Structure 1
Amino acid sequence: MKDHGEKNNRLELLKGLNGSFRPGVLTALMGVSGAGKTTLMDVLAGRKTGGYIEGSIKISGYQKNQETFARISGYCEQNDIHSPHVTVYESLVFSAWLRLSAEITDAKRRMFIKEVMELVELDSIANALVGMPGVNGLSTEQRKRLTIAVELVANPSIIFMDEPTSGLDARAAAIVMRTIRSTVDTGRTVVCTIHQPSIDIFEAFDELFLMKRGGEEIYVGPLGQNSCHLIEYFEEVKGVKKIGSGCNPATWMLEVTALAQERNLGVDFGEIYKKSDLYQRNKRLIKELSTLAPGSNDLNFTTQFSQPFLVQCQACLWKQNLSYWRNPSYTAIRQFFTTLMALFFGSAFWDLGGKRKKQQDLFNSLGSMYVSVMILGANNCFSVQPVVAIERTVFYRERSARMYSALPYAFGQVGIEIPYIFVQSLVYGYIVYAMVGFEWTLTKFFWYWFFMYFTFLYYTFYGMMLVGLTPNYAVASIISSAFNSLWNLFSGYLIPRTKIPIWWRWFYWTCPVSWTLYGLVASQFGDLEDELDNGETVKEFIRSYFGFKESLIHGVAMVVVGFSVLFLLLFAYSIKRFNFQKR
């Protein structure tokens, strides 16, 4: 930026950090709030979404390649993000399915999942639903272990854990640390950010990477028995108070290295570390580890993802199928509401579909179509948004782990809606069609069901699309309400197209609801030669007043299908293009 005349006004979060993490060694990444612990971990793991990163990160001496690194590493986030309507075992199956090599057989995959479940002590709750944090399902400690297990089934060589004991009581924290220790003992490299641990938790670590506010390291090295190496290092600094009997070394360490203590002592712990023998030893170790082993080759994968595209689609659809089937508060309630509205509309417009003597008779029939589209369509739009918003958070984690690309996820999310909406439209269409008394011919009933089906479909996909395009569900809901009001106004019912001012008529043509009503009305009444009280036939009145022509019904059908496809594609694009998770 300086080369282009820009002023250097960046905030430097990490300053000249050097260090190494080795297999079979459990390293604690610590520091006061604002020291840059999570920032450093996000940079190392390749999860940082903003800022400028300068420097070198090497894996076994080779320059880090993020696409390859994501395949061999795991990242346990602090928030324990999982799909709520699948079981513990199914969560692990999904992760292993998409992250293990395609050459691994199903039998070996199941065996590996079983070993991981035993390692993290999840076998007793294998069939428990994950649930929502703080609402139902797993406890906080169980969710932590599931988070670790989801990463372990990918068989990573390196695992990052962001405050794995945060929010846990002593017993739960001990269980999680036992799980982490077991993971390290398998020969993996494990790095954990940790905040004010107890003595027992702190002593479980092998090495410490300590940072101070401003993003500088002030101690990188072994802890030793009872933290003897750490205590010896800081007690050698002139003016630092000795550790008290029974005092937690982690608490003492953070107190004596605080910014206020630095000022009181007139020292800079960052400079002290860079002048120490420990720093020189670490530099030699880094140089040694950065030296390429004779005959070694850089790790590369021939494909971006472990599984091919079709397998990704299959896995995503499998998980969404489980999630929808076990989410009656969404699927069953939506179907119940649809059936209730069908009975209500059918009774309110009872036997009006066969009356064609007056213009008002046609308006009454059209009213049954209009209210069903606006009320049930809007209900589909609003009800799907919280479901997609929850799953999008899970998607961000799984995409960062290179489990699948955006398109298979979008396919699973929209694909599972198709059979549910098919049943919804069929039940609604049959009840209302019979009760309102529309003409019973196969062609007319088919067109009625067809337009209702794709209307429910495009409203649902529209709700998904807005979640994908906006940072949160609240914003998506507001935009949905605004456009639903505009669609209501320009649907062609309140103001027919022939009466809309010419400068607003373009909005009518871009309104999907107007095409739905066009198709419904034209298919039911556009071919009728019955004479009205004003001397016009039904066909002539529909054409002169609304501008609907029965001969264009196939083109209208293609447009309605096109809106469904358009919203589907925009949802897929938004999921791929936008990431509202800032790190």
Structure 2
Amino acid sequence: MEDTTIHAKSPGSALNSTSRYAETRSPNQEQSLPSLLSFVHDQSSRPITLRFEDLAYAIKSQSGEDHNHSSQNSNSNSTRTLLNGVSGVVRPGEMLAMLGPSGSGKTTLITALAGRLPGKILGSITYSGQPFTNLIKRKTGFVAQDDVLYPHLTVIETLSYAALLRLPKNLTREEKIQQAEIIITELGLTTCRDSIVGGPLIRGVSGGERKRVSIGQEMLVNPSLLLLDEPTSGLDSTTALRIIATLKGLARGGRSVVTTIHQPSSRLYWMFDKVVVLSDGCPIYSGQTGQVMEYFSSIGHVPRFNFVNPADFLLDLANDVSPTRNQDEHPQDNQGRLDNIEDRNSIKQFLISSYKTNLQQLVKDDIHQHFYDTNPMIQETSHSRSCDKQWTTSWWMQFKVLLKRGLRERIHESYSRLRIFQVMSVSILSGLLWWHSDLSQLQDQVGLLFFFSIFWGFYPLSNAVFTFPQERPMLTREQSSGMYRLSSYYFARMAGDLPMELVLPTIFVTVTYWMGGLKHSFVTYILTTVIILFNVLVSQGLGLALGAILDLKQATTLSSVIMLVFLLAGGYYVRQIPPFISWLKYISFSHYCYKLLVEVQYTEHEVYECGIGVHCRVFDYPGIKHLGMGNLWWDVAALGVMLTGYRIIAYVALRMIKLH
């Protein structure tokens, strides 16, 4: 293994002129990020030149979606064009900004460049001459507009777990943790290192710190290409300036940085090297930031005031607004040009046409300039092709890290005060209602057993339905980054369910069983507990499958209907189910759980007082006799099939949605 000793450089070596905007750091913290990350030697430090030419992308739109577009696109199943003829190039050391109003196609474009846009994209996107592959994906960092982070993890935990999953296996655990510490220092997160990230309902770090944590997760692998969607969205001007200054320093370290930004201040605008301006998916400018005003002046659009934020001026143009000095002061000189614009129906169409006439060929010439540079990325070796098919860490390492991270995050939810209160209050109330019942109250005891099967069927099902819909954004982001296999995530999730979901049912049964006066036998109590836990896992499996297949609203609705059906077909309320619908009980896990609870609670020869001085067999009780006792192992097998089957369905559903 190569030497991983980290050497400090002189202050400000990476940020250059933008360092004055960055977080205040002590001299020993002011280190060059490229040098700090140099020991991540999976070839990710090799530069990438991003080229995209004549990109076009369209989707099928339903009726009403295209009300802002021309009538030819207003059909019930029309095609909506989101990108049309967009071109540009970003070389190592450059930072490109994509400007445009809302709905102009900025997010679509950057998602396409990140290789995460579904459907067919027309045109060409190359990464130092190569198409998008798994090898390129591991060299590319993508930060979405919405920060998808676990709210209960601290900043250091978030970055440490990401480092353990994303950094190559030839680094030790200590080196990976050290990498996370370096990122925290470089991004100015030292003061909130041990603070939880937080979320909409949980107070945590500030919005700017959350954004830097998201950037830090991508910087862990020292990406050659970094793409960010609206990194300054919702941030104040000072925080936004610090974020862009950080990105500027990363670009100067030899990376290609591309970001969308909605309405930057003039200070932010001049920190970018290049800019692409979109209007309704079409480019109206692509080139150097310092030449943008000169270009628009050359086609007759001069700002009214001498001192104007170029970004504001560009957005006005993209929004079909062009208050120009020449129009106000010398309207007669511009009559011909205005007539020309009117012939094209709008300023927007004139700008799109002017781009095609004046800039399009220049942009393409820039794209193909030095296209065949001697670049290590172009000269793909057999070693890199083999690495393209490999994961950075082993399956077992992924499983261990994901299991530990899942337990650390979910313990707050699984053992929240509200959930503990909910379970314990129901447990104690049930124990009081069935207080010290005995065989003389056989109907009540059987009712308690059925309540066990129903409560611990509905409760875990209703919780499990939310699992994958809530985790899907995180799973999608991490799978798209190639952090881990879906199988390692899924098995870690299943293993983590055992301590998270089985403790409260055990406590519930322990309290209610003895308070309710059920059989005073430790063996029977253990068997009852095992059956309830078995039922919990089966019910949870059904909830996971529903959540993986359907969206949240559909899954919650269907789960309520299913539990109602299982409740009625469980064998307690309706004893003689009509033959044409009696098959429902065979798919009800509550039915099998209820039968097993009755079968371990009572013996075949046990009797109860069915009249004055008259004793009858418990198994001849009308509420038990129709259950068909004596098939214990078949009932266990049926639950076992459901336990396995539901989880297989959930896994296949996750696999089929093609997260990556």
Q: TM-score, normalised by structure 1?
A: 0.89
- Residue among 607, 611, 620 paired with 1:530: 607
Q: C-alpha separation between the residues in 1 aligned to 2:262 and 2:203?
A: 27
Which is further off, 417-426 or 259-268? 259-268
- Identity, in percent, stands at 25
Closer, same or farther: CA 560–122 of 1 in aligned 2, 3 Å: same
- Residue among 40, 45, 48 paired with 2:117: 48
Corresponding residue for 1:208? Answer: 275
- Residue among 355, 369, 373 paired with 2:439: 355
Corresponding residue for 1:247? Answer: 308
- Residue among 277, 288, 295 paired with 2:369: 288
**8 A contact 2:456–2:532 mirrored in 1:** no
Corresponding residue for 2:355? Answer: 273
- Residue among 425, 437, 455 paired with 1:340: 425
**8 A contact 1:471–1:580 mirrored in 2:** no
Closer, same or farther: CA 42–132 of 1 in aligned 2, 3 Å: same
1:305 counterpart = 2:387: no
Q: C-alpha separation between the residues in 1 aligned to 2:584 and 2:179?
A: 57
Corresponding residue for 1:510? Answer: 587
What is the correspondence of 1:44-443 to structure 2 with a 5 Å cutoff?
44-49=113-118, 51-65=119-133, 67-133=134-200, 135-213=202-280, 215-224=281-290, 229-237=291-299, 239-242=300-303, 244-259=305-320, 261=322, 263-264=341-342, 268-276=350-358, 279-291=360-372, 293=374, 296-298=378-380, 299-300=384-385, 301-327=387-413, 331-352=416-437, 354-356=438-440, 361-386=441-466, 388-443=468-523
**8 A contact 1:26–1:189 mirrored in 2:** yes
**8 A contact 1:88–1:128 mirrored in 2:** yes
**8 A contact 1:165–1:173 mirrored in 2:** yes
How far is 1:542 from its partner?
Answer: 6.8
Corresponding residue for 1:575? Answer: 654
Q: C-alpha separation between the residues in 1 aligned to 2:420 and 2:624?
A: 37
Which is further off, 400-409 or 17-26? 400-409
RMSD: 2.6
Q: C-alpha separation between the residues in 2 aligned to 1:488 and 1:259?
A: 61
Number of equivalences: 556
Corresponding residue for 2:84? Answer: 15
Letter in 1 for 2:543: G
Letter in 2 for 1:293: T
**8 A contact 2:407–2:500 mirrored in 1:** no
Q: C-alpha separation between the residues in 2 aligned to 1:566 and 1:449?
A: 22
Closer, same or farther: CA 486–175 of 1 in aligned 2, 3 Å: same
Closer, same or farther: CA 289–62 of 1 in aligned 2, 3 Å: farther
Which blocks of at least 5 consecutive residues in structure 1 are unaligned? 1-6
**8 A contact 1:338–1:376 mirrored in 2:** no
Q: Secondary structure at the match of 2:228?
A: strand
Which is further off, 14-23 or 283-292? 283-292
CA offset digits 1:383-425 (Å, max 9, x no partner) = 3444553322211211111112322222233322212333223
Q: C-alpha separation between the residues in 1 aligned to 2:154 and 2:364?
A: 46
Q: C-alpha separation between the residues in 2 aligned to 1:220 and 1:164?
A: 21
Q: C-alpha separation between the residues in 1 aligned to 2:486 and 2:205?
A: 28
Q: C-alpha separation between the residues in 2 aligned to 1:290 and 1:81?
A: 36
Corresponding residue for 1:3? Answer: none
Bigger relative contact order, structure 1 or 2 (CA pairs below 8 A, ≥6 apart)? 1
**8 A contact 1:100–1:306 mirrored in 2:** yes
Q: Secondary structure at the match of 1:84?
A: coil
Q: TM-score, normalised by structure 2?
A: 0.79
Which blocks of at least 5 consecutive residues in structure 2 are unaligned? 1-74, 323-339
Closer, same or farther: CA 412–294 of 1 in aligned 2, 3 Å: closer
Q: C-alpha separation between the residues in 1 aligned to 2:392 and 2:379?
A: 20
How far is 1:14 from its partner?
Answer: 1.7
CA offset digits 1:295-322 (Å, max 9, x no partner) = 8523532435322222222121111110
**8 A contact 1:324–1:331 mirrored in 2:** no
Q: C-alpha separation between the residues in 2 aligned to 1:508 and 1:182?
A: 65
